[in-house]
Amino acid sequence: MSFLSKVLALVEKDFRAEFRTKEMLSVMLIFALLVVVIFGFAFNPTSQVTRKIFPGILWVAFFFAGVLGLNHSFTRERYNQALHGLMIAPVDRSALYFSKVLSNMAFMLIVELVATPVFLVFFDYSPAGRLPGLVSVVLLATFGFVAVGTFLAALAANTRTSQILLPILLFPVVVPVVIAAVQLTAATLAGSSTASFAAWLRVLVVYDIIFLVVPFLLFDYLLEV
């Protein structure tokens, strides 16, 4: 069985377990929607200031909801020491990392897909830019966040305080993604030209590549910590 088919079997297992219980998705969705409501009450949705910080509000909701999902992604592997069951199987351990990145990314995208229209409606925001631009930004930023988040979630999963430790480890590392995501979202929603945000796009792409390669090299050792 090839590397790819093992990754897909692992993703299928995560999907099967998640869609049976909906533990992770429901918590992430409820959290993201709560953020919409709270920010809606905290700020005047129609004011110019709120419109300026709208992309930031959007990504705060996505990233915090994402942390909840990342925290849960390795919890399931800890019941009955299932992670050990995978570690003794003839599977390259990076397959486990890639499968978790794919499933975490899929769950985050589902949350973003549901929450974004709610955000736009709640804040009465009509994007001036084109949808493909926004979709590209969401995909790149979500990938960067999930790639590093999955790696750190695996590290934190071996500790007693994993729920607290993950955000403390993750947010300082993920700052470039947060800034780039907010800047790019603001630019695409405003319909700005590509040239104006090319630098942030490069930051995001380079970040994504680095945090795809580094965990690939280190994940084997990380699991044995």
Partner 1 sequence: MIVLRGLRKRLGARDVLAGIDLEVPRGQFVTIFGPNGAGKTTLLRILSGLMRPSGGDVYLGGARLEDDSVALRAMVGVVSHHTYLYDDLTALENLVFYGKMYGVKDAPERARRLLEEVGLSVFAHDPVRTFSRGMQQKLAIARAVIHEPEVLLADEPYTGLDRRAGEVLTGLLRRFKERGVTILMVNHDFDQGVALADRVIILAGGRVALDELVTSESLRLIRERYEELVGGKYAGVDQKQ
Residues in contact with partner 1 by CB under 8 A are: 1, 5-6, 9-10, 12-13, 16-17, 20-21, 76, 79-82, 84-92, 224
* Minimum distance from residue 16 beta carbon to partner 1 (Å): 6
Nearer to partner 1, 47 or 159 (CB): 159
- Which residue, 104, 136, 128, is CA-closest to 15? 104
Distances (CA, A) of 178 to 6, 15, 57, 61, 170: 32, 27, 11, 11, 11
DSSP 3-state of 26: helix
Nearer to partner 1, 60 or 222 (CB): 222
* Minimum distance from residue 18 beta carbon to partner 1 (Å): 8
Nearer to partner 1, 82 or 113 (CB): 82
Tokens read off for 90: 């003839």
* Minimum distance from residue 143 beta carbon to partner 1 (Å): 25
Q: 220 burial class (0-12, 13-18, 19+ CB within 10 angstroms)?
A: middle
* Minimum distance from residue 142 beta carbon to partner 1 (Å): 25
47 in the Ramachandran plot: left (φ > 0), alpha (ψ -120 to 50) or beta? beta
Q: Rounded CA gap, 19 and 33, in Å?
A: 20
- Work out the end-to-end distance of the chain between its first and last CA atoms, rounded to an integer number of angstroms: 28
Q: Rounded CA gap, 89 and 114, in Å?
A: 37
Nearer to partner 1, 13 or 51 (CB): 13
Nearer to partner 1, 95 or 182 (CB): 95
* Minimum distance from residue 21 beta carbon to partner 1 (Å): 5
Nearer to partner 1, 86 or 140 (CB): 86
* Minimum distance from residue 218 beta carbon to partner 1 (Å): 15
